[in-house]
Structure 1
Amino acid sequence: MQRIESYALLGDLQTAALVGDNGSIDWLCLPRFDSPACFASLLGGEDAGFWQLAPEGAGSCTRRRYRGDSLVLETEWDTPDGTVRLIDTMPPRGEAPDVVRVVEGLTGQVRMRMTLRLRFDYGHIVPWVRKADGDLVAVAGPDAVWLSTPVALHGHDLTTSAEFTVRAGQRVPFVLTH
């Protein structure tokens, strides 16, 4: 379990996420601050939901900072195979809240892993997950989220995962929309 000081904040003025120094979003209420959490591992452990993007086998990041005077979070890992940056943001809201995560290769090539365990209502509700028009769609009662990415996704044990390699100069986007 992460210590609270290892978390950074993302937000879009209507809700917020807490991102650990291991690349995991462990707290997020959608679509508003007062909505039940869909990632609640901060309080309920991994079974309560999280979304991690990090190099395979990596722990805490090497460096982390906010970009300029913004809530755009940059998390970097130096690995034996290269350096990778994870850019996290929640842009000002249009029609729906988005969590945008971009993996950027800085040097070499780094093997990455994405693990998404959506659990609505503070970890109590496992959504029905399917693919539609190339996106992953997770629905539980009135709640639904879409994950859009060019990376091939795999489901197992009520969790969605992906393994991919990012090379220097390459960017791989992940957008989660409520």
Structure 2
Amino acid sequence: MINYQQARFFTSAPDIRALPADDGIEVAFAGRSNAGKSSALNTLTRQKSLARTSKTPGRTQLINVFQLTEQQRLIDLPGYGFAKVPLAVKEKWQRSLSEYLQKRQSLKGLVVLMDIRHPLKDLDQDLIHWAVASQLPVRILLTKADKLSPGPRKKTVLQVSEAVLAFMGDVQVQAFSSLSKQGLPELEQALSRWFHPDSE
């Protein structure tokens, strides 16, 4: 297993041309601005402020790179779908997002985070379509799972799992809570498989 606690901030890049050399293995995290992406990254790495959590969603407008080892990186992609960002910024971001997903050779998996109470919005679906078209495996984290009681939580995971069959790709779904750490072991196992594809 990988020691995610060793993650450290490496760089912030406005687009893929400013990213580190395209070798090794990267796993990217993406989600709507209020999906709890920074909290999930902090929970995964057991660090309180590795990824900056903000009371104002949509702060992350850069691609943030966190290094695990020489050849392994976690990528924090800018939050999308935040209303207060000007349209030109949104369009530029969507272009760099699709470019990153389609052209980055070291990208081996995409974690898409969605609030369990509002899953599979249009932009989430666009992102999954892009990833499947690029033959990337996707893991959907239904975040803030502690906000639902066990019955509705299980029902939502089931509904989303059935809905993603339509994408015809490698798309897995799980519940996750940064607060209660629910789903953390499953996330770690999934990421470790992406970081160590030879050990399957």
TM-score for the superposition, normalised by structure 2: 0.31
Larger proportion of strand: 1
Q: RCO higher in 1 or 2 (8 Å CA, sep ≥ 6)?
A: 2
Larger proportion of helix: 2
TM-score for the superposition, normalised by structure 1: 0.34
